[in-house]
Amino acid sequence: MTGMTNPVQAKAAQEATDWFIALHDAPDDRDLRARFDVWCAQDPVHLEAWNATKRTADLMAGIAPLGDETAQDGKPDWQRFLDARRASEQDLFNVRTAEGEDAIAAKAEETAKIISAQSRFKKRGNTSWRGIGLGGVAIAASLVAAIIGPRIATEMQADHYTRTAEIRTITLADNSTVMLAPESAIKVHYDGKTRFVELLDGEAFFDVTPNPDQPFTVGADTVTVTVLGTGFDVSEGMGQTSVGVEHGLVRVDNAANIPSVSELLEPGQLASVTRDGVVRRSTTPISQIAPWRNNQLIAQDQPLGEIVDRLRRYYGGTILITDAALEKETVTGVYRLDDPVMALRGIARAQNAVVREITPWILVVSAS
């Protein structure tokens, strides 16, 4: 999918984070250390991911926690760091011109300098302060790029997009409407004969104006959804595309698969199609199609990892899960998206797991 991170690197990065937390919690566990050494030796990508994770952790470890010494503006260092990062995101979101990747890289470097100027770091073993220096600037630049790079790449291609916790409704040229869920992006292709909308990332609800002479098609990864006039939801993520119909009739195709996939969906029906053509069909009350429009997250025997991935789009920081087995535990329940931290704690509590706040913008879910 456009703008997505390399899946091998993304998996290695997640595993490196899991190892970091496990080793931090049990530094004297020799068996754990031995298994970690084997993991590092398995693939150069693993070692690269570990080094990047360690550098980032070292950077963030120096940020003063809530309640520590504050600057003249009255804010603790962690808050100033976060403010700088968010301000830099705003600048980067505006770089959507032909300047391309070079401009983004330059802006990331400039952002790193802002962070270094606004953040102070403690030396281990004493309470003195120092600037992060050129090495710290490079790490900060890497951190900024890791946080916002994929999003910028997607949004530079998009005609319409949303940010974290933002929901927008767009009216298209034919008066069809698209409601974008948080951290979602679309590109519109209307040529007078066909109506095609590409879902670049995230989730969207479409309410289509009928026009038999101009079919309306949505593309998401390898899946296309074709309608004449209907209301339906399309989401992309976790290696699959999901479609749910509120009213009307849609056809879901995956021509890239051999044999090809083609499914007809009526109101209250849902289908999830993986990239290799596996189809999972289900039914649900019409009122539960795209419940995010009403700030609801509804889970029905779904993996915790999948549910948390949907919740991440509503939380301004980072959510990490330490245990692969915990990610596979099934979740059932209704949670409020307008309070993602409370929702996460409720999801964790149902699995006898706990949520720890590592910094004011990093939450870690682990088995209790």
Domain count within the chain? 3
Q: pLDDT class for 43, splitting at 50, 70, 90?
A: confident
Q: For residue 230, which of 220, 219, 240, 217 has the smallest C-alpha distance?
A: 217
pLDDT at 265: 95
Inform me whether the pLDDT recorded for 329 exceeds 60. Answer: yes
Alpha-carbon dihedral 108, 142, 305, 201, rounded to 10 degrees: 30
Lowest mean pLDDT among 25-34, 133-142, 145-154, 298-307: 133-142
Residue finishing a domain among 155, 180, 210: 155
- pTM more than 0.85: no
Looking at the fold, whether 23 and 144 belong to one and the same domain comes out as yes
| 91 vs 268, higher pLDDT | 268
pLDDT band at 174 (very low <50, low <70, confident <90, very high): very high
Give kind and range of the element (H or E) at residue 243.
Answer: strand 240-247
User: Do both 235 and 310 map to the same domain?
Assistant: no
Give the H/E segment covering residue 358: strand 353-359
Question: Which tens digit of pLDDT belongs to each residue from 260-292?
Answer: 888 999 999 999 998 878 899 999 999 999 999
Tokens 């976790």, residue?
238
> Which amino acid is present at 47?
L
Structure tokens at 351: 């699995």
**pLDDT confidence tier of residue 74, bands split at 50, 70 and 90:** low
DSSP lists the bridge partners of residue 262 as 253
How confident is the model at residue 258, as a pLDDT? 73
Tell me whether residue 2 is in a domain: no
- Examine the fold and report which residue of 111, 128, 155 is the final residue of a domain before the chain moves on: 155
Q: Specify burial of residue 177 (Cβ count, 10 A radius: 0-12, 13-18, 19+).
A: middle
Residue 40 lies in a domain: yes
**Closest of 353, 352, 274, 271 to residue 319, by C-alpha:** 353
Average pLDDT over residues 113-137: 36
131: pLDDT strictly greater than 80: no
* Nearest-10 Cα torsion for 197, 203, 209, 210: 80
Please give the pLDDT value at position 129: 25
More confident residue, 352 or 255: 352
Judge whether 317 lies within some domain: yes
Q: Is residue 36 part of a domain?
A: yes
Confidence of residue 84 (pLDDT cuts 50, 70, 90): low
Is the pLDDT confidence value at 160 over 60?
yes
Task: Identify the domain boundary among 137, 155, 173.
Answer: 155
Cα angle 141-146-148, degrees, rounded to a multiple of 5: 95
Decide if pLDDT at 21 tops 90: no
Between 255 and 210, where is the model more confident? 210
On the question of pLDDT at 23 being above 90, the answer is no
Reported as a pLDDT band with limits 50, 70 and 90, residue 184 is: very high
**Residues 300 and 253 occupy one common structural domain:** no
DSSP structure string for 96-128: -STTHHHHHHHHHHHHHHHHHHH--EEPTTS--
Residues 157, 10: Cα–Cα separation, whole Å: 22
Q: Does one domain contain both 206 and 149?
A: no
Tokens of 325: 């087995």
Are residue 131 and residue 172 in the same domain, yes or no?
Answer: no
For the stretch 350-360, pLDDT in tens is 999 999 887 77
pLDDT band of residue 98 (cuts 50, 70, 90) is very low
For range 170-188, the mean pLDDT: 96
Q: E strand or H helix at 281, and its extent?
A: strand 279-283
Distance set, CA 242 to CA 78, 222, 225, 245, 252 (Å)? 38, 12, 10, 10, 10
Mean pLDDT of the chain: 76
By three-state DSSP, how is residue 159 classified?
Answer: coil
Contact by Cβ (8 Å): 316, 361: yes
Range of the domain at 15: 7-155
Strand partners, 265: 250
Q: Are 340 and 362 found together in one domain?
A: yes
**pLDDT of residue 245 exceeding 60:** yes
Q: 3-state DSSP call for residue 227?
A: strand
Residue 189 and residue 217: Cα distance in Å, rounded?
A: 10
Q: CA–CA separation, 54 vs 141, rounded Å?
A: 15
Query: Do 252 and 268 belong together in one domain?
Result: yes
346 within a domain of the structure (yes/no): yes
Q: What is the pLDDT of residue 30?
A: 86
